[in-house]
Amino acid sequence: MNIRRRLQNLECRPFRRPVARRDGQWILPADECAKMRDLQKKLCLPLPDAATTDERQEALRLMGAAQSRLRIDISDTAGLDELKNYARGLHSKYQSDFER
């Protein structure tokens, strides 16, 4: 699986919960869908379309590191903060219209 597709999967399903079927129908309860979208917005995801492969690789590395840290200590959000700051920097670099 290529880097962009893998990162998009993680951006859409950060905790490996199925969010939508292929036909676009949401399969989670409405409140969980809202929570997932809220989590994506807090992490400044998805990344801008103009992001390079190297930038996406770095974001993927940060996402994996954040997940590993959370598995050890659920209250350790420093990895997620790094990912958010990195994604926010990409959005400002490419001047995307991402809502903060």
Distances (CA, A) of 40 to 11, 29, 47, 87: 7, 17, 10, 11
- Domain with 35, as residue range(s), is 3-16+30-93
Q: Is residue 24 part of a domain?
A: no
Q: Is residue 21 part of a domain?
A: no
Q: Is residue 98 part of a domain?
A: no
Distance CA 83, CA 61 (A): 9
Q: Is residue 23 part of a domain?
A: no
Q: Is residue 99 part of a domain?
A: no
Q: Is residue 22 part of a domain?
A: no
Q: Is residue 100 part of a domain?
A: no
Residue 75 has pLDDT above 60, yes or no: yes
Greatest Cα-to-Cα distance within the chain, rounded to the nearest angstrom: 36
**Amino acid letter, residue 74:** I
Structural domains of the chain, count: 1
- H/E run at residue 49: none
Q: Is residue 25 part of a domain?
A: no
62 and 82 Cβ atoms separated by less than 8 Å:
yes
Helix (H, G, I), strand (E, B) or coil at 64: helix
pLDDT digits (tens, 9 = 90+) for 7-16: 666 665 555 5
pLDDT digits (tens, 9 = 90+) for 14-66: 555 555 555 555 566 667 777 777 888 888 888 888 999 999 999 989 988 99
7 and 63 Cβ atoms separated by less than 8 Å:
yes
Strand-pairing partners, residue 20, are: 26
